[in-house]
Structure 1
Amino acid sequence: MTWRLTWCRDGHWLLRAFACVAVFAAPLEGYLLQAHGQLAKLPPALLVVTWVVVRVRQRRAPEPHPVHAVLALFAVVLLVSSALHAGGPYAAEYLLRWLPFLLVTVVLIDVVAREVPIRAILAATVAGAVVAALGGLHSLLAAGETRATGPLEDPNDLAYFLVAALPLLVALRRGVVVAAVVLVAAAAATFSRGGALALTAVVAWLLARRALPLKALTAAAAALTALGVAAVLFAGPELDRAISEKSHIAGTNVDTRELRWQAAARMVADHPGLGVGPGGFRAGYPAASHNAEIDEQTPVAHSMYLEVAAELGVPGFALFAALLALTAVTSERVRRVTTDPVPMIAVQASLIAVVVASTFLSQQYYLPLWSLVAVVAAADLRLRRTSDVACAPRDQ
């Protein structure tokens, strides 16, 4: 009996630790892969295994939430589409990308609803993004890259992580201005237009909801201005070269994304039921685009929404959109009822960053989207539990 109680206490501690480590490590995937090809999978795997062991010993199932139903239906569509297109060269690989995110979302919902404070998850998310931002700035200033990349190969992916983490700072109390300056500076150093649009949407939302203190905004703007002046004075030629290269690439990117979006739209029109299967966009792109890109035969769609629709059909896209809509509606309900709405406003702003940036990027295989879904559902479950306890004496 003593051993079991000790394990339960240790298991709770491990759940808290592994949940925070999983979200912290997400933007550092590239560094982990450099150390070992499978190391990036270790934090979420440890979280899932520990969760299963603890819940089995407790004989406790996850509290149900509408998000679970949407995730379950989405998993059914995913599995059926995968089975139908099992012969595709990327079908198994992409199925194994999807399923861990669905599972980790379920685990995070349960763990954050019970063991892990929401602010701890938000703090771990920000901490991982700050480390990634520092890596990105190092790659630009010391490693000779023309755009900040750091732990991720694509600068646009790095910008996605940084901008998604930035609004979560308003839910924290310490080191906000310094962390904000680091995140914004690194995001700017990626020269990502999608990241800039997402950042604009984030600031607008926080200002509209009066969650962004003007003092903090002014201080961060002043610090960034000083950094910009210093960059011009001390790294003017390198900055000019980076801007010139980005300007040259920008026009090409617009053309290629238009080609890929058109190809994805054709796939949706030709296969509306269950799509072309996971990874089917890459396999079918040459035919769907009529070999429009000779140098790139297996790209991503550069739009999360079009890629999901092309690969999983209208039902898969409808469920994916329903997951986003349900998360948005739930977050607003929690914001209105909770005594401290600021953390949920921060989460809403982060979700807006994800939604906006993913219009131009295929980001369904990165954790920010799924962790935000989990945090909102967990906050809703926490609120329901509190309401039930408060109402219990009156019912009796």
Structure 2
Amino acid sequence: MVKSVLIVPIIVWPGCRDGYVAPKESLFACVAWILLLTWLWRHMADGDLGAGWRRLRRRPVALPLAAYVLTSVASLGLGSVEYVPLRACVLGAASLVFLFILLERLEDNEALAGWIAGAYLLAMTIAAGIVLWQDRHPDAAALEGMRASLTGARPDWRFGLVGTAGNPNFAASGFIIALPLALMGGVLAVRRRWVFVIVSLVVAAALLATFSTAGMAGAALAVVALGFWLRRARVPYTRVLPAALGLLAVVAFYLAPNPANARGESYLSAAMRSPLWKHGYQPRLFIWRTSAFMIVEHPICGVGYGGYFPEHQKYQGLHYRLRGTPHELPRVGLVDYAHSVPIQRAAETGLLGLVALTWVVLVVGRRWAATWRADEIKRVSGGRAGTRRPLDTRPEVTTRCNAGNASGRYSRTRFFSFRDYFLEGGSSWLRAGAGCGLLAAGVQALPDSPFYTLVGRMGMLVCAALVLYEPERAPRRFAPQAWSFGLRAALLLVWIAAGIVGTYRLAYPILAERAAARLDYAAAVRYARQEPFFRYGYAGVLAARGQWARARGELQYAYRLLPDAEFAAAWERASLAMGDTGGAIAARRAMLAVNPCYGPWYLPLAELLEASGDLSGAGEARRLAHRFTLPSP
């Protein structure tokens, strides 16, 4: 029995394939590769590396997961941006390593994993129900606010329910962060019904709060701290109080004034005031339809693993071109926050990838249903489902296990052993380190300053490394062998090196933000090479110095990273400053590729074509300008 039910929320985490490498992907890659080294060294020490793969092959979900991996790899060569395949290989492989090790090693407490997965499904259902209610009760008066957010500097997607339930990007990563805390809170509750309620509400809150996942971690930390204190102090009602007060902390988190809000509003008040709360269904349907164009044109292998966002901007323009109607939103390319992960998988890996993902979900769902039934049978029969299995004290079993532990054959690494860390003793410095890491993660709920963000991310890295890795102790009457010390020392050195490199890598976005704040865009680009807006700012600095050729190169690269009309317009201005009419025409056509149904953009193209001597092209541009220009009210 394995915790295969945990695969679904992890495998759909699309952060490993998005536009640039965010800190959470670096954290995830570091932890995953540490686990891979642990797994490999353990089997190499046992002298039978093939046995691990053979056992893995017998897992029920191994075959569909392998199909999922193969379809993702098959689509890698079709990515449209040059840096996507390398990033997808590194981080995608890290996520798959994590999945395989979950299949190989997480064998205890299957019932608890089943309840966790059920709670996740319930939370998704709650969020989806809110979105459906939102679609049935739109507020037409909020349409102007929606248009203003789309045509402004940045869309308002911080508190939009459509941006969370319709787009599980941040919801899935929030679930990954909240899962350890939810498990620890569930261990405190002991009874599975409380686990179900706690995790459902915590995950639902994370789903509806998009960018507040760190704040949710800080709120859920109250459950752990309170339960730990109650358990140590032997206070009565230790099952009910942590659950009730932990949920109260989550509710208070959303109702309390938000220090980062200029008005001092709570998260809930700001959400209710957001136009996306009242009017968000049109962008979601828009994104789903344009994604369908991607699937129709690339039905088998898709547009490439990691190529969804770079390609999606182009198909938004195709959507309006096929409709043949004028469109009044010139920056339609920024409507990118209302897609769904299954549709993204179908667009990236084609129908083959969608079939593989469906296969994995069905197998995992069957395992979850079996876990549910087994837990119910044990509960009715008086057993304690989900608890640790009693030790087998038969002489032949004891002798065999003791001999295996002495030789290192049965030594194993346990993951997510929160009970040992926080409730039943264990190393005090490990508990302190993990607790400080969680506390630092909760600090991110404070105002969004670079210092707090950096501390929180470093804390999550330390917390993940300490909590996910725990060498199981051998029986006391058998002294560890010499190779065991060397192996543990090697793993410790690898972990320290990965932690240093990972922390340094995690600091890059913070350093880039600080450099951009002091208008040092050259340094910002060095730290965040794949961030298009930093390159846009750097191009402005180069243009101010008169270096138009380099500025145009930066703008062209920024447009390849994110096809945005603003980048293309700046590209056109740089070309005109250089006297390159052909470059200006190419830039204007790039603008029209973002939104080919915005009439006013065709008139400058007609003038440029006339200046270059292309009269027929200029006439066609004027005809399209007349066709796609909205009549005056």
Query: Normalised by the size of structure 1, how large is the TM-score?
Result: 0.51
What is aligned with 1:243?
271
Structure with greater contact order relative to length (CA < 8 Å, sep ≥ 6): 1
What is aligned with 1:331?
368
Counterparts of 1:90-239 in structure 2 under 5 Å? Answer: 90-113=84-107, 117-118=108-109, 156=171, 160-161=175-176, 172-174=187-189, 184=201, 188=205, 191-192=208-209, 224=247, 238-239=265-266
Deviations 1:127-159 (A, max 9, x none): xx9xxxxxxxxxxxxxxxx86xxxxxx874565
Deviations 1:187-220 (A, max 9, x none): 5487449x9xxxxxxxxxxxxxxxxxxx978995
Q: 1:42 is matched with which residue: 14, 21, 30? A: 30
Deviations 1:22-45 (A, max 9, x none): x9xx9xx9xxx76x9944422221
* SS of corresponding position for 1:272: coil
Counterparts of 1:12-31 in structure 2 under 5 Å? Answer: none
Name the amino acid aligned to 1:48: L
Name the amino acid aligned to 1:325: L
The separation in 1 between residues aligned to 2:256 and 2:67, in whole angstroms, is 55
Residue 317 (structure 1) aligned with residue 354 (structure 2): yes
What is aligned with 1:76?
70
| Count of residue pairs the alignment pairs up | 267
Counterparts of 1:350-365 in structure 2 under 5 Å? Answer: none
Q: 1:178–1:67: structure 2 CA closer, same or farther, 3 Å change rule?
A: closer
Q: 2:298 is matched with which residue: 271, 277, 284? A: 271
Structure 1 window deviating more from structure 2 (301-310 vs 233-242): it is 233-242
Q: Which runs of 5+ in 2 are unaligned?
A: 1-9, 17-21, 121-157, 160-168, 213-237, 321-329, 380-384, 388-633
Name the amino acid aligned to 2:342: Y
* SS of corresponding position for 1:276: coil
The separation in 2 between residues aligned to 1:93 and 1:257, in whole angstroms, is 28
Q: Give the CA deviation at 1:250.
A: 2.6
Superposed CA RMSD: 5.1
Q: 1:328–1:155: structure 2 CA closer, same or farther, 3 Å change rule?
A: closer
Q: Which runs of 5+ in 1 are unaligned?
A: 1-22, 130-145, 148-153, 196-214, 345-396
More helix by share: 1
Q: Give the CA deviation at 1:109.
A: 1.0
Q: Give the CA deviation at 1:99.
A: 2.5
Amino-acid identity (%): 17
Structure 1 window deviating more from structure 2 (283-292 vs 166-175): it is 166-175
Q: 1:237–1:244: structure 2 CA closer, same or farther, 3 Å change rule?
A: farther
The separation in 2 between residues aligned to 1:282 and 1:273, in whole angstroms, is 19
What is aligned with 1:380?
none
Name the amino acid aligned to 1:108: L
Residue 51 (structure 1) aligned with residue 45 (structure 2): no
Deviations 1:218-275 (A, max 9, x none): 9956875798589769789613742344x32334543322222112111112211111
Q: 1:237–1:191: structure 2 CA closer, same or farther, 3 Å change rule?
A: farther
The separation in 2 between residues aligned to 1:331 and 1:69, in whole angstroms, is 17
What is aligned with 1:261?
288
Q: Kindly indicate whether the alpha-carbon contact (under 8 Å) linking 2:112 and 2:386 is maintained by their aligned counterparts in 1.
A: no
The separation in 1 between residues aligned to 2:345 and 2:265, in whole angstroms, is 38
The separation in 2 between residues aligned to 1:72 and 1:51, in whole angstroms, is 18
Q: 1:185–1:53: structure 2 CA closer, same or farther, 3 Å change rule?
A: closer
Q: Kindly indicate whether the alpha-carbon contact (under 8 Å) linking 1:158 and 1:190 is maintained by their aligned counterparts in 2.
A: no
* SS of corresponding position for 2:317: coil
Q: 1:165–1:157: structure 2 CA closer, same or farther, 3 Å change rule?
A: same
Q: Kindly indicate whether the alpha-carbon contact (under 8 Å) linking 2:75 and 2:304 is maintained by their aligned counterparts in 1.
A: yes
What is aligned with 1:384?
none
Query: Normalised by the size of structure 2, how large is the TM-score?
Result: 0.34
Q: 1:54–1:256: structure 2 CA closer, same or farther, 3 Å change rule?
A: same
Name the amino acid aligned to 1:327: V
The separation in 1 between residues aligned to 2:241 and 2:70, in whole angstroms, is 48
Q: Kindly indicate whether the alpha-carbon contact (under 8 Å) linking 2:79 and 2:306 is maintained by their aligned counterparts in 1.
A: no
Name the amino acid aligned to 2:187: L
Structure 1 window deviating more from structure 2 (304-313 vs 94-103): it is 94-103
Q: Give the CA deviation at 1:311.
A: 0.6
What is aligned with 1:142?
none
The separation in 1 between residues aligned to 2:351 and 2:252, in whole angstroms, is 49
The separation in 2 between residues aligned to 1:108 and 1:230, in whole angstroms, is 32
Q: Give the CA deviation at 1:333.
A: 2.9
The separation in 1 between residues aligned to 2:30 and 2:256, in whole angstroms, is 43
The separation in 2 between residues aligned to 1:101 and 1:230, in whole angstroms, is 31
Deviations 1:328-381 (A, max 9, x none): 11232344456647549xxxxxxxxxxxxxxxxxxxxxxxxxxxxxxxxxxxxx
Name the amino acid aligned to 1:323: V
Q: Kindly indicate whether the alpha-carbon contact (under 8 Å) linking 1:77 and 1:316 is maintained by their aligned counterparts in 2.
A: yes
The separation in 2 between residues aligned to 1:39 and 1:167, in whole angstroms, is 20
